[in-house]
């Protein structure tokens, strides 16, 4: 038991300063100097300039983003809603927080942009919020990631404010699994899948926030300090931070999401008010504790999320099998769900009219 507590203390106190090398690998540096930070900034800026020069991503002038409004503040920055004057439609953009952890945030920004650039050459699933381009604040010189706007907010708030039918709940589960299947087929691990990283657009679920995707062997202390995030983390990593994060770890998080969709409430919402409670919860999860099924949950739905959050990673289903199981449940489907994995025309349905 002591080993688990010690590991969790390490998890909640990860070093906050990272150095980005020229090849964009990262190394931990607890004693980064001002010169180190300048090198970080220069390397990051050079990388961004190169992708813009090669036209790998669209540059959106900051002055084209009007009527900005704060939507949320997260571990590495704020999310703003704005009108893109070129299209006269709503978009959102991420702004880095100018704090001691800024260069950790810059690392996350670059990695998230890399994920989107990796996905673009193939096709963009409509289960993923799309990157439209990058911008730069003319005053602060901070880089901004400009994204598609989703009009329904995040999944956690969406569930809290609606009385959904089981067909609606199964539909949301399918859409998230479809997006995760798309990422896994592209060899992308999300690594931070929870209900604040799912948004709703026109009643449909989309996955967001690839800031720590494919950044190996790191769980940011800033992320794990947020209430409730611990409940979605691969249990084996609560015991051992060196335990490899795999696709099955994302599947575990998805299983927790399925339960959350069934209940309309975040997992263990009454158990993580303080740091001590988080440690107890982590110990319990590592020992097999899970949320209880909601009364009236269809048997096949319950059985599926229990398979997904199995304690043993090799006992969890892959995303393709999850989709097949959801299809067999025979919940009502419309054109938003079909057996063929969705592919959307990038020229259509990108925006919300203002």
The verdict on 87 and 185 lying in the same domain is no
Q: Which residues contact 192 (CB under 8 A, 6 or more apart)?
A: 209, 211, 212, 213, 223, 229
In which element (H, E) is residue 71 found? strand 65-73
Segments forming the whole domain that contains residue 219: 155-346
Cβ(21)–Cβ(43) below 8 Å: yes
pLDDT recorded at residue 211: 60
The verdict on 111 and 184 lying in the same domain is no
Domain count, the chain: 2
- Pairing of β 26-28 and β 198-201: unpaired
pLDDT recorded at residue 288: 93
pLDDT recorded at residue 110: 80
Three-state DSSP class for residue 244: coil
pLDDT recorded at residue 235: 95
The verdict on 47 and 142 lying in the same domain is yes
Which residues of the chain carry a pLDDT beneath 70? 1-42, 44, 74-76, 96-106, 121-122, 211-228, 272-276, 331-354
CA separation (Å) from 217 to 2, 14, 66, 209?
A: 22, 11, 39, 18
Cβ(254)–Cβ(322) below 8 Å: yes
pLDDT in tens, 185-221: 988 999 999 999 999 999 999 999 876 555 333 333 3
236 CB-contact burial (10 Å; exposed 0-12 / middle 13-18 / buried 19+) = buried
CATH of the domain at 166: 1.10.510.10
Cβ(291)–Cβ(262) below 8 Å: no
Asked, for residue 247, whether it belongs to a domain, the answer is yes
pLDDT recorded at residue 27: 32
- Pairing of β 65-73 and β 77-84: antiparallel
pLDDT recorded at residue 13: 43
Q: Which of 148, 165, 182 is the last residue of a domain?
A: 148
- SS3 assignment for 76-135: CEEEEEEEECCCCEEEEEEEECCCCCHHHHHHHHHHHHHHHHHHCCCCCCCCECCEEEEE
Three-state DSSP class for residue 308: helix
The verdict on 195 and 336 lying in the same domain is yes
Distance CA 268, CA 281 (A): 8
The verdict on 67 and 185 lying in the same domain is no
The verdict on 176 and 144 lying in the same domain is no
Q: Which of 148, 181, 197 is the last residue of a domain?
A: 148
pLDDT recorded at residue 329: 92
Q: Which of 122, 148, 174 is the last residue of a domain?
A: 148
144 CB-contact burial (10 Å; exposed 0-12 / middle 13-18 / buried 19+) = buried
The verdict on 340 and 203 lying in the same domain is yes
The verdict on 96 and 177 lying in the same domain is no
Tokens of 27: 């190394």
pLDDT recorded at residue 298: 95
The verdict on 99 and 165 lying in the same domain is no
The verdict on 183 and 304 lying in the same domain is yes
If phi > 0 it is left, if psi is from -120 to 50 it is alpha, else beta; for residue 209 that is left
Distance CA 258, CA 309 (A): 10
Angle between helices 34-53 and 102-119 (to 10 degrees): 20
Cβ(60)–Cβ(84) below 8 Å: yes
pLDDT recorded at residue 47: 78
Distance CA 196, CA 260 (A): 12
pLDDT recorded at residue 74: 65
Q: Give which of 144, 143, 148 is closest to 131, Cα–Cα.
A: 148
Distance CA 148, CA 131 (A): 6
The verdict on 105 and 233 lying in the same domain is no
Report the half-sphere exposure of 234 (CA within 13 A, side-chain side): 25
The verdict on 66 and 213 lying in the same domain is no
CATH of the domain at 108: 3.30.200.20
Asked, for residue 7, whether it belongs to a domain, the answer is no
79 CB-contact burial (10 Å; exposed 0-12 / middle 13-18 / buried 19+) = middle
Tokens of 184: 């896994």
């Amino acid at each position: 038991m002591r080993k688990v507590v010690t590991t969790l203390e390490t998890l909640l106190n990860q070093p906050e300063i990272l150095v980005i090398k020229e090849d964009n690998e990262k190394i931990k540096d607890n004693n980064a100097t001002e010169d180190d930070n300048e090198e970080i900034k220069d390397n990051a800026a050079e990388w961004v300039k190169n992708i813009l020069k090669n036209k790998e991503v669209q540059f959106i002038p900051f002055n084209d983003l009007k009527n900005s409004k704060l939507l949320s503040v997260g571990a590495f920055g704020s999310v703003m809603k704005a009108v893109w004057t070129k299209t006269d439609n709503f978009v959102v953009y991420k702004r880095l927080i100018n704090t001691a952890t800024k260069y950790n945030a810059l690392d996350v920004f670059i990695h998230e942009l890399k994920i989107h650039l990796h996905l673009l050459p193939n096709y963009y699933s409509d289960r993923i919020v799309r990157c439209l381009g990058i911008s730069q604040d003319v005053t602060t010189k901070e880089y901004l990631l400009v994204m598609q706007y989703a009009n329904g907010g995040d999944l956690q708030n969406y569930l809290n404010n609606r009385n959904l039918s089981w067909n609606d709940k199964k539909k949301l589960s399918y859409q998230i699994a479809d997006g995760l299947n798309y990422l896994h087929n592209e060899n992308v691990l999300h690594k931070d899948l929870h209900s604040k990283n799912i948004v709703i657009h026109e009643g449909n679920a989309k996955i967001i926030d690839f800031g720590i995707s494919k950044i190996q062997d790191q769980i940011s202390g800033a992320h794990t300090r947020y209430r409730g995030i611990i409940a979605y983390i691969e249990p084996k990593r609560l015991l051992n931070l060196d335990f490899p994060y795999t696709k099955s770890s994302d599947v575990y998080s998805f299983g927790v999401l399925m339960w959350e969709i069934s209940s309309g409430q975040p997992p263990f919402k009454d158990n993580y008010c303080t740091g001590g409670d988080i440690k107890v919860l982590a110990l319990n999860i590592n020992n097999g504790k899970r949320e209880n099924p909601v009364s009236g949950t269809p048997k096949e739905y319950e059985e599926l999320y229990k398979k997904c959050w199995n304690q043993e990673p090799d006992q969890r289903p892959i995303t393709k099998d999850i989709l097949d199981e959801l299809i067999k449940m025979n919940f009502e489907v419309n054109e938003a769900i079909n057996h063929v994995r969705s592919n959307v025309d990038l020229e259509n349905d990108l925006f919300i009219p203002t």
